[in-house]
Amino acid sequence: MRIDIVTGLPDILKSPLNESIIKRAQENGSVTITIHNLRDFTHDRHKTIDDTPYGGGAGMVLKPEPIFECVESLQKERTYDEIIYVTPDGERFTQAVATQLSLKNNVIIICGHYKGIDDRVRQGLVTKEISIGDYVLTGGELAAAVVIDAVVRLLPGTLHDSTSAMTDTFQDNLLGAPVYTRPPEYRDMKVPDVLLTGNHNAIEEWRQEQRIKRTTERRPDLLHKQ
Ligand code: ADE
């Protein structure tokens, strides 16, 4: 999979994408992530990427030209399955959306300022709009990092244990079962006996019961989701 990120603030993305599993996924070739700085697609001395909104109001709006030029330069190289804009007024990001995106070959993610981007970018380029939740961030960069993290860990060869992603919380609308590691007893709290038996059927049964119990207690809404 190839992910191109279009941003005016490339430094925000560098560290979240260069650690741990996402770093390893890039090293082993599961994903290629390239960050494009919008300032490289300006033509004025000040490398201007934003301007005040027509009609007045607070905040700055990202100009259309650098975004169009950046995206079109990428489209000259390859076709893209999806051009995503991360925005609080997009479709809510869920595990199902992450799974759909993990099946794509080439995607672009455009990050905006909190006041947004010129609407002609949305009309003329964007094919999918994603919100990571009902709150407003100062820009789309952290939202893009969240989307990329959730998608990349689903790619084949990314996690050590391929069953790990399939047994995740949310993968089948259930929360995960509690997990424990050594020691078997700590500060009077004991690891449930069944986990120490080595009886895989009994352990699986216990985990499934725990998943249903946790989901019923914490997120009953998930049980009715299809
Ligand atoms: N940009 C700013 N806030 C956002 C959010 N909640 N989701 C996606 N992109 C955003």
Binding site membership of 114 for ligand 1 (Cβ less than 6 Å): yes
* In this structure, CATH architecture of domain 2-152: 3-Layer(aba) Sandwich (3.40)
The average confidence (pLDDT) of the chain is 95
Position 115 confidence tier, pLDDT thresholds 50, 70, 90: confident
Pocket test for ligand 1, best of 13, 97, 110, 131 (most atoms within 8 A of CB): 131
Does 11 score more than 90 pLDDT?
A: yes
Mean pLDDT, range 156-178, rounded to an integer: 80
The span from the CA of 47 to the CA of 130, in Å, is: 28
54, two tokens: 């027509």
Does 215 score more than 70 pLDDT?
A: yes
User: Of all protein residues, whose CA lies closest to atom 2 belonging to ligand 1?
Assistant: 137
Does 172 score more than 70 pLDDT?
A: yes
Does 162 score more than 90 pLDDT?
A: no
Long-range contacts of residues 13-22, Cβ cutoff 8 Å, at least 24 apart: 13/141, 13/144, 13/145, 16/142, 16/145, 16/149, 17/145, 17/148, 21/152, 21/153, 21/158, 21/159, 22/148, 22/149, 22/152, 22/153
Q: Give residue 161's pLDDT.
A: 62
Binding site membership of 116 for ligand 1 (Cβ less than 6 Å): no
| Ligand 1 centroid to residue 90 C-alpha, Å | 8
Mean pLDDT, range 151-165, rounded to an integer: 82
Mean pLDDT, range 109-115, rounded to an integer: 91
Sequence ranges of the chain with CATH classification 1.10.1270.20: 169-223
Q: Give residue 113's pLDDT.
A: 86
Binding site membership of 137 for ligand 1 (Cβ less than 6 Å): yes
Binding site membership of 66 for ligand 1 (Cβ less than 6 Å): no
Does 225 score more than 90 pLDDT?
A: no
Per-residue pLDDT tens digits for 32-56: 999 999 999 999 999 999 999 999 9
| Ligand 1 centroid to residue 132 C-alpha, Å | 6
Q: Give residue 163's pLDDT.
A: 65
Per-residue pLDDT tens digits for 58-102: 999 999 999 999 999 999 999 999 999 999 999 999 999 999 999
Sequence ranges of the chain with CATH classification 3.40.1280.10: 2-152
Binding site membership of 131 for ligand 1 (Cβ less than 6 Å): yes
The amino acid sitting at 186 is: Y
* Percentage of the chain modeled with pLDDT above 70: 97
Binding site membership of 140 for ligand 1 (Cβ less than 6 Å): yes
What is the CATH T-level fold of the domain 169-223, as seen in this structure?
A: Trp Operon Repressor; Chain A (1.10.1270)
Q: Give residue 191's pLDDT.
A: 98
Does 160 score more than 90 pLDDT?
A: no
Q: Give residue 218's pLDDT.
A: 98
